[in-house]
Every structure is written in structure tokens, then in C-alpha cells.
């Protein structure tokens, strides 16, 4: 059964969507069946995967409002090897319409349960805010991957996010765990970045991925071409870093499976 990972941080501009698109491509390149769920009304993960977000028949809005099934809405991205549940501006309406809907925080979880067996990994790109769309993602997920830019204000926002994760754990999703903290846009020449990175490791230990995503021009350019960096320039430092992240995630999951089997 597929592992569902919500990629979230309420602070914008930390490489959240870049991580979703490129990790999806890297896992697919590792021969895993991958679904990328775009839960951000901006639809950047959809566009970054080469899909015209305004031309899709169904989007995350239709799925959340029970006007289409998740399987109806899937769009295969054959060149990158993964599928997308797309998003566009319609999702903004879902935020309002879900406020009075019954079981509003469970909508995504129930839909993904229908197709979970079709995938090894399901990545959810969350909006940069702690709204009902993000809550749906957290309720549906097994783990939370948090991209963090190594700067002072990043640590402040992290506290609020961890408190939200804790509340979801205690109330509606006891399975939810911190999958890992990912240092993004990292520049080792920047003393503050080095200090903040060290603080993260000190406080969170093994929860911080060893892989670090560097600042990289190719990573920034790839979305304008509608393809992951792995297709745009597979030898770039950004593409290599996301392949390393995929390998690290797969190793962690293999170790966890072996540990569970031996108990």
C-alpha cells in the first residue's frame, strides 16, 4: 500500500513545490509508482509537471467536493514517470465550501484510500498556509516532509507547524509522524545557513535528512519548461541532490520495514 507524504511549510518560498515535483521524478526514476497530489490553488506543481492547469477536466476541487473521484482526475505525466492529481484556482472555492461540509477534514483521506494500492508513494503539495486544504493533507498522510530554508525566521514558523502536526496526531490521525526535515536553498558559504542547519540537527537529530538541497539555477529554471530538473539537466547539482534524497527516503523505509518485520 502506498505511503502518503504531505510536503508542507506555511512559509512560502522554501522550495516546497520544487521538492514535490523533483522528488516525485526522482522516486519514479527509482522505479517507484508515484502520485503527486497538488493541493495548492496556485497549481504550481501541476504546471511544473507540464500540465495546463486550466485545461483539465477535473481537479482537486472536484475530488474534495465529491463531484469526481480521485481516479477520474489523475493525469499521467509519461515523460517524468509519475501521475498528478492537478490543481487550479478552483481550489480556493473549496476552502470556503468545505467550511460547512460534513467530514470536511476527511475528504482527501477517503479519496486517496481508493487508489492507494496503485502507488508506492503519494506526495501531497500543500498550500503555504495552515488552512482546511493543509489539514486535509495532514489527515490523509502517514508522514510530513518539511522543507526548510536555513534562515532565522524559518525556525519560528517551524514551531507553529509542529504544533499543528501534534494537534492532528492527537485528534484525527494518530498515524501521522514527522517524515523528515529537508534543508533547501542551502549555501554553505553563508554562515547563518550553516548555523541554522546545525541547530536543526542538534534539535531534531535523525529527523533531519542528511541530503541537503543546494541553491541551483537549473532547479529554478526547470519549472518554466514544465519539467522536473531531472529531465531538464540530470547532471545539475539540484537534480543530483533530489536523486540522493529519494535514495535516502527509500533506505529509511527499507530499514523501518525490516525493523517492523523482526518485531
**What is the structure's pLDDT at 83?**
98
Of residues 126 and 190, which shows the higher confidence score?
126
The string of DSSP codes covering 21-71 is HHHHHHHHHTT--EEEEE--TT-HHHHHTT--TTS-S--HHHHHTTSS-HH
Largest distance between two CA atoms of the chain: 51
In percent, the amount of the chain with pLDDT more than 90 equals 75
pLDDT of residue 194: 85
Cα–Cα distances (Å) from 11 to 7, 27, 49, 135, in that order, read 12, 25, 22, 15
At 263, the pLDDT band (50, 70, 90 cuts) reads confident
Short-list 139, 123, 165, CA closest to 249: 123
- Residue 52: count other Cβ atoms within 10 Å of its Cβ: 13
What average pLDDT is seen over the chain?
92
Domain residue spans of the chain: 3-262
How high is the pLDDT of residue 153? 74
pLDDT of res. 130: 83
Query: What is the pLDDT at residue 40?
Result: 95
> Exposed, middle or buried: residue 254 (CB in 10 Å: 0-12, 13-18, 19+)?
exposed
Read off the pLDDT band of 239 (50, 70, 90).
very high
Say how far apart CA 116 and CA 185 lie, in whole Å.
Answer: 31
User: What pLDDT, on a 0 to 100 scale, did the predictor assign at position 10?
Assistant: 82
Q: What is the torsional sign of CA 222, 50, 27, 185?
A: positive
Q: How far apart are CA 50 and CA 76, in angstroms?
A: 10
pLDDT, residue 41, reads 95
State yes or no: pLDDT of 39 exceeds 80.
yes
**Banded pLDDT at 234 (limits 50, 70, 90):** very high
Written out in words, the top-level CATH class of the domain with range 3-262 is alpha beta
Q: Are 128 and 12 in contact (CB under 8 A)?
A: yes
Q: How confident is the model at residue 150 (pLDDT cuts 50, 70, 90)?
A: confident
Q: Which pLDDT does position 121 carry in this prediction? A: 98
Note the pTM of the prediction, 2 decimals: 0.95
d(CA 151, CA 26): 26
Amino acid at each position: 500500500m502506498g505511503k502518503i507524504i504531505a510536503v508542507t511549510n506555511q512559509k512560502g518560498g522554501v522550495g516546497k513545490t520544487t521538492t514535490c515535483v523533483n522528488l516525485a521524478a526522482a522516486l519514479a526514476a527509482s522505479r517507484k509508482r508515484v502520485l503527486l497530489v497538488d493541493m495548492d490553488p496556485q497549481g504550481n506543481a501541476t504546471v511544473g509537471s507540464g500540465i495546463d492547469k486550466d485545461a483539465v477536466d477535473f481537479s482537486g476541487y472536484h475530488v474534495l467536493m465529491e463531484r469526481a473521484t480521485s481516479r477520474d482526475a489523475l493525469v499521467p505525466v509519461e515523460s517524468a514517470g509519475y501521475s498528478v492529481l492537478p490543481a487550479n484556482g478552483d481550489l480556493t472555492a473549496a476552502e470556503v465550501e468545505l467550511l460547512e461540509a460534513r467530514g470536511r477534514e476527511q475528504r482527501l483521506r477517503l479519496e486517496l484510500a481508493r487508489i492507494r494500492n496503485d502507488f508506492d508513494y503519494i506526495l501531497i503539495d500543500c498550500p503555504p498556509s495552515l488552512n482546511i486544504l493543509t489539514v486535509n493533507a495532514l489527515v490523509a498522510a502517514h508522514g510530513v516532509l518539511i522543507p526548510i530554508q536555513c534562515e532565522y525566521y524559518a525556525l519560528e514558523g517551524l514551531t507553529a507547524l509542529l504544533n499543528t502536526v501534534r494537534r492532528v496526531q492527537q485528534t484525527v490521525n494518530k498515524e501521522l509522524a514527522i517524515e523528515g526535515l529537508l534543508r533547501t536553498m542551502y549555501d554553505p558559504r553563508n554562515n547563518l545557513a550553516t548555523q541554522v542547519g546545525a541547530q536543526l540537527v542538534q534539535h531534531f537529530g535523525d529527523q533531519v535528512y542528511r541530503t541537503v538541497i543546494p541553491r541551483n539555477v537549473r532547479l529554478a529554471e526547470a519549472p518554466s519548461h514544465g519539467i522536473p530538473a531531472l529531465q531538464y539537466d540530470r547532471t545539475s547539482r539540484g537534480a543530483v541532490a533530489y536523486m540522493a534524497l529519494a535514495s535516502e527516503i527509500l533506505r529509511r523505509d527499507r530499514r523501518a520495514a525490516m525493523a517492523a518485520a523482526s518485531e
